[in-house]
Amino acid sequence: MPGIVVIGTQWGDEGKGKVIDLLADDMHMVVRFQGGNNAGHTIMLGDTTIRLHLVPSGILYPHITPVIGGGVIVNPAVLLDEMERLSSLGIDVERLRVSYNSHLIMPYHVVLDGLMEERRGGGRLGTTLRGIGPTYADKAARQGLRMQDMLDASAFFRKVKEAVEEKNQLIQGVYGADPLDPVAVAEEYAEYAQRLRPYLADTASLVRGALDEGKNVLFEGAQGFMLDMDNGTYPFVTSSNTVAGAVCAGAGVGPRDVGEIIGVTKAYVTRVGGGPFPTEQDNEIGRAMQEVGREFGTTTGRRRRCGWLDMVALKYAVRSNTLTSLALTKLDVLSQFDTVRVCVAYRYRGELIKEFPPVLDVLCRCEPVYRDFPGWRVDISGARRLEELPVEARSYLDFVQESAGVPIRLVSVGPERRQTILLDGDETRLLQGRFLFFDDLP
């Protein structure tokens, strides 16, 4: 049975956590394949809000094997802390499996992320300061430390100590900052090694086995397509590939192991950190989206920049990820507006552009061209079927679906599991050949 991929189509925070949590009920395994604890996925379970940074969003179901694949970078302190928090909520974390190949985020990576941002001054990227860029840089330079290095305790102690000594030269010599204590870091990581060892596994092989047995495997994307290191708005991107194709390298599967690819999009757009954002509303409209949508970063608590839905960018995401369907979230947040706008093209030096521009400087100078839709101005957060949505909201969805060229199979009208409308004719059907019955949801 080919796997199912869920990715964000925008600059992150599209509501992937909610969508993955919903789908996970029908899954056997949920696999993270890239990124690190820069991700922040929020799941509402009744009155409890659960924020996950590293542990896959399927963890809430006891029948799921949650897997952290080799393409993910792991800060062991954050992972252990998250596992403890989940345990204290009565969630069994013993099932978690972490790849031997995952690279470790070290304290010097976090320090360097901060120092590099400081040095960029006004041109800073607005990273999450979690050490993501420096860790992936070391991985590419073939000088990273991996989970499997923890297997030999004395060699690991030595490797950590030497790595800290080397990075201290950079921290002190180039940035003039305080060095780290090599022995203290090595001791700290020796303890993490001991605690994490039982969870380490050949995860690619686990995933392979599940797929071969015909079990449902879901690959959980972090960040969003527009933050992809190669295809996004470089340098205002993250340091991993967030595109659906990254599943293969990051989880250790082949392209033919992937069947459905679901792109999550908000009904509007948000972005945290710097970088171009053509439809941004740095005004009352953006503030209203921010307030009603509670657009604060899950990881850093920063205010998210907000703007209208951008079909130029969304179509780019549909094509580059070969999406098979869309999950559209936060439609309820648009209920407050008399007019709902959608960007259908860009204008650059008087010319209409319909394709996402590959040159950053062009993108930065593009003006959005909007199509206006009448708003619905009623509370839709209780809608559970398409027919219960006002005709204006349905027209808006029709347009997005038509323009994107792929079906919208899920519409979310609130943060809770139940606040979801499944489409596709038969409303109990979300994934082809797989069924999700909403009566069972808490």
**Would you call 109 a catalytic residue per the annotation?**
no
Radius of gyration of the chain (CA): 22
Regarding 13 and contact with ligand GDP (CB under 6 A), the answer is: yes
Shortest distance in whole angstroms from residue 197 CB to ligand IMO:
27
**Would you call 41 a catalytic residue per the annotation?**
yes
Shortest distance in whole angstroms from residue 158 CB to Mg ion:
37
Contact status, residue 2 vs residue 191, Cβ threshold 8 Å:
no
Q: Which residues contact 184 (CB under 8 A, 6 or more apart)?
A: none
| C-alpha dihedral sign at 385, 380, 376, 311 | negative
Main-chain phi, psi angles of 242, to 5 degrees: -105, -5
What is the distance between the terminal CA atoms of the chain, rounded to a whole angstrom?
Answer: 28
What is d(CA 419, CA 330) in angstroms, rounded to the nearest whole number?
A: 10
Q: Are strands 217-220 and 29-32 parallel, antiparallel or unpaired?
A: parallel
Contact status, residue 237 vs residue 227, Cβ threshold 8 Å:
yes
Q: Enumerate binding residues for ligand IMO (CB under 6 A).
A: 8, 11-13, 38-41, 125-128, 130, 132-133, 222-224, 227, 238-239, 272-273, 298
Q: Which is nearer to ligand GDP, 15 or 134 (CB)?
A: 15
Shortest distance in whole angstroms from residue 149 CB to ligand GDP:
30
Given 28, 330, 341, 409, the residue binding ligand GDP (CB under 6 A) = 330
Site for ligand GDP in 267-296 (CB under 6 A): 293
What is d(CA 138, CA 81) in angstroms, rounded to the nearest whole number?
A: 24
Given 7, 27, 29, 41, the residue binding ligand GDP (CB under 6 A) = 41
> Would you give the DSSP letter of residue 265?
E
Shortest distance in whole angstroms from residue 5 CB to ligand IMO:
14
Query: From the list Mg ion, ligand GDP, ligand IMO, none, which binds 38 (C-beta under 5 to 8 Å, kind-based)?
Result: ligand IMO
Regarding 82 and contact with ligand GDP (CB under 6 A), the answer is: no
Regarding 107 and contact with Mg ion (CB under 5 A), the answer is: no
Contact status, residue 270 vs residue 305, Cβ threshold 8 Å:
yes
Burial class (CB in 10 A: 0-12, 13-18, 19+), 257: buried
Burial class (CB in 10 A: 0-12, 13-18, 19+), 384: middle
The letter for the amino acid at 232 is G
Catalytic residue among 28, 41, 103, 109: 41
For residue 42, the SS3 value is strand
Strand partners, 262: 6, 325
Regarding 305 and contact with ligand GDP (CB under 6 A), the answer is: no
Residue with tokens 């999950």: 327
The region of 7-15, 96-104, 173-181, 225-233 touching ligand GDP under the rule CB under 6 A is: 7-15
Catalytic residue among 13, 21, 138, 228: 13
> Would you give the DSSP letter of residue 20?
H
Q: Which is nearer to ligand IMO, 41 or 409 (CB)?
A: 41
Q: Which is nearer to Mg ion, 298 or 325 (CB)?
A: 298
Shortest distance in whole angstroms from residue 399 CB to ligand GDP:
19
Regarding 333 and contact with ligand GDP (CB under 6 A), the answer is: yes
The letter for the amino acid at 134 is P
Given 11, 14, 217, 305, the residue binding ligand GDP (CB under 6 A) = 14
Shortest distance in whole angstroms from residue 308 CB to ligand IMO:
18
3-state secondary structure string across 79-120 = HHHHHHHHHHCCCCCCCCEEECCCEECCHHHHHHHHHHHHHH
Regarding 53 and contact with ligand GDP (CB under 6 A), the answer is: no
The region of 228-236, 269-277, 295-303, 362-370 touching Mg ion under the rule CB under 5 A is: 295-303
Q: Which is nearer to ligand GDP, 22 or 404 (CB)?
A: 22
Q: Which is nearer to ligand IMO, 301 or 433 (CB)?
A: 301
Q: Which is nearer to ligand IMO, 277 or 337 (CB)?
A: 277
**Residues taking part in catalysis:** 13, 41
Residues that bind Mg ion (CB under 5 A): 13, 40, 298
Query: Which residues form the interface with ligand GDP (CB under 6 A)?
Result: 8, 12-18, 40-42, 44, 293, 298, 329-330, 332-333, 412-415
